[in-house]
Structure 1
Amino acid sequence: MKLIVYEINMIIGLSVLLCLLFAGCAEAEQAKPDGLLREDNRMDRKPILAGSWYSEDSAELRATIESYIQKAKPPKIDGRIVGLVSPHAGYVYSGPVAAYGYKILMQDKIRYKGSTVVILGPNHRAAGFSGISIWTEGAWMTPLGSTPIDTRFAKALMDKLGPIAEFNPQVHNVEHSLEIQLPFLQYALDNDLKIVPVVIGSQADNVIDNLAKAIAEIADENTIILASTDLSHYHPKRQAYALDNIFTDAVLSGNADSLRKVVRTGKCEACGYNGVLTLMKCAGALGADSIEKLKYATSADVPEGDSSQVVGYFSALFLDTGKTEKLEGSMKSSNPGNSTEKFDLTKEQKIYLLKLARKTIEDYIINEEVLNPPPPDDQLLTDDGAVFVTLNRDGMLRGCIGQMIAQGPLYVA
């Protein structure tokens, strides 16, 4: 799978943004990277979403989370929480769904306080990053306080992963999918926890297999694996339901290979698929024997939503209920040194794709026609590839759209 991330600093055509909702990654239009706080020879991460995706006022933020948790009606759960799947849009959209998982965590907070939570999220914004970045030191801050990194766990994970992993603060400092989980965690566990934030920039099987294997070897009963993902993006509500049902059914089956197949064949969508797959592959080794669906909804289910273009949200738990038979994760041990394949375009190939994108937009806006270009002679451009586009203005994200999985020829994508 070839992934190309293009950073575009000027918006080509006003219509590009019409296909984006604030309910998905486009909400980052107000997210502002504030840099790092360096103190006592360590690096702490300041929040980039406070004041946009959630309130920057601690009392207001606490009240918002409390309201979502009070309204959530999750089923009664027996067993130890091994893993959690939770959405990562702005709280007004995905907060009501996320609250289901965090309410269960909160209801048994005595058991889970002091836990290490490994937060797995995809790379939305760091152009060209295709590895794994693990934050290994300091703390992460939100309006609800400062939560320390489990440095021992993070560095052990880094050591086991070898060359496919690094500590890249710049990748973390523009990524929203991990931070968005933290205020809920802080609220649910009275901020008595440690975290290991992990950005996964690759969909490669051996990268995910090695990450799952490494986590399984380090984690214990005081570890929770949190996979951060939204589901389908910007489809009509009925189509979103169909796509998302395929994804959730695959997750609930407990079969990691089934999830991999339905995502990579384009039958469903999930931007944080790689984190969910990692969780599925290591959960059984950590004691999980069952998966419980807590809640599914879309951005259209809130007053601010638009049913013509929705984003899907899903909350689920991976549980150890004491059964002898555990989930089968199908983990494989791969050589980390061969886990990524460098992929570059020539200047001519980039110019061709840029002109093609511009021509497609112009034809649609001016002539109301969908361009159907002939295949180029360049073999690389006709190979399957994925394209993810981010739109920036004055250094701030104004929107993003695309596919993380190769589903057709690059020039068509």
Structure 2
Amino acid sequence: MIDVRPSPISGTWYPGDPETLAQSIDHYLNDIVITPLLGELKGVIVPHAGHRYSGQVAAHAFRYLEGLTPEVVAVISPLHHPHLGQVLTTGHDAYGTPLGNVPVDHALLQRFEAELNENGGIEVSYVRNDGEHSLEIELPFLQRVLPQPFRLLPLMLRDQSRPTVEAVGHALGKVLIDQSAILVASSDLSHFYPQPMAQRLDAEVLSRIEAYDPSGVLSAEEEGLGFACGRAA
């Protein structure tokens, strides 16, 4: 029998009824008009609040994945809970949502773990029955927009320091280069600031993302110029 991680947020962060959840996500997606992208899509950045708060924003990114057929989706998120370890993943065989189970690619995960340990000196920690929302919250959208089943590479970064982020990035590049894969970076932007300040902070982070400046994204918070909850993703 497959060992499925039970969802701790179904019915609260998003609808727990399969039909209601599917209709809700489709409603968000159908409200979006996208413009064609140049080049090949490799990944998206999406927020991780409850669907009622962030679903419409997330739909702008996920709409671009409609019709794609990756074999693997790597979801990289922060970790909001006090588990031990720098980089964590699930100890279960699959994530469960009302729309079905998403299998974890343990073979690819083992390759990532070996690469991260060899070149970064970092061990991957396994956690069971975790309460982390920022990774799971993206899965129902993926289940609706991707027409074929996919395997999941789930990574949660408790340590968002520069050395850890660089090591994770290099390890991901090594193991995904020969895969049909999409990256999903789970990150909110500023939290709880007055609107004018939030817009300034968010604009700074977004400008550094658009400039493909990962070092600048990490340093924005250190400099007090920006904030991203999942900046390491």
Give the Å deviation of 1:115.
Answer: 2.3
Matches within 5 A, 1:114-263: 114-126=70-82, 129-135=84-90, 138-162=93-117, 164-170=122-128, 173-190=130-147, 192-220=149-177, 222-263=180-221
SS in 2 for 1:267: coil
Give the Å deviation of 1:168.
Answer: 2.1
* 8 A contact 2:44–2:61 mirrored in 1: yes
Q: Matches of 2:150 and 2:198 in 1, distance apart?
A: 35
TM-score (norm 1): 0.53
The one-character-per-residue Cα deviations of 1:327-365 (angstroms, maximum 9, x if unpaired) are: xxxxxxxxxxxxxxxxxxxxxxxxxxxxxxxxxxxxxxx
Superposition CA RMSD, Å: 1.7
**1:271 maps to what in 2?**
229
TM-score (norm 2): 0.92
Q: Matches of 2:175 and 2:72 in 1, distance apart?
A: 11
- The sequence identity of aligned pairs, in percent, is 28
**2:46 maps to what in 1?**
86
**1:45 maps to what in 2?**
5
Q: Matches of 1:145 and 1:259 in 2, distance apart?
A: 35
Q: Matches of 2:148 and 2:5 in 1, distance apart?
A: 16
* 8 A contact 1:87–1:230 mirrored in 2: yes
Give the Å deviation of 1:137.
Answer: 5.3
Bigger strand share: 1
**2:60 maps to what in 1?**
100
* 8 A contact 1:117–1:223 mirrored in 2: yes
Structure with larger Rg: 1
Code of the aligned partner of 2:5:
R
How many residues end up aligned between the 2 structures? 229
* 8 A contact 1:243–1:269 mirrored in 2: yes
* 8 A contact 2:75–2:186 mirrored in 1: yes
Q: Matches of 2:230 and 2:148 in 1, distance apart?
A: 25
The one-character-per-residue Cα deviations of 1:89-119 (angstroms, maximum 9, x if unpaired) are: 000110001001111111xx1xx32421111
Matches within 5 A, 1:265-304: 265-275=223-233
Unaligned runs of 5+ in 2: none
Give the Å deviation of 1:75.
Answer: 1.9
* 8 A contact 2:85–2:125 mirrored in 1: no
Q: Matches of 2:45 and 2:123 in 1, distance apart?
A: 23
Give the Å deviation of 1:79.
Answer: 2.6
Instruction: Tell me which of the two structures has the higher relative contact order, counting C-alpha pairs closer than 8 angstroms and 6 or more residues apart.
Output: 2
**Measured at CA, do residues 146 and 191 of structure 1 come closer, stay the same or move farther in structure 2, by a change above 3 Å?**
farther
Q: Does 1:68 align with 2:25?
A: no
Code of the aligned partner of 1:149:
V
**1:59 maps to what in 2?**
19
**Measured at CA, do residues 89 and 103 of structure 1 come closer, stay the same or move farther in structure 2, by a change above 3 Å?**
same
Q: Matches of 2:93 and 2:123 in 1, distance apart?
A: 18
The one-character-per-residue Cα deviations of 1:25-53 (angstroms, maximum 9, x if unpaired) are: xxxxxxxxxxxxxx45xx32111111001
* 8 A contact 1:69–1:103 mirrored in 2: yes
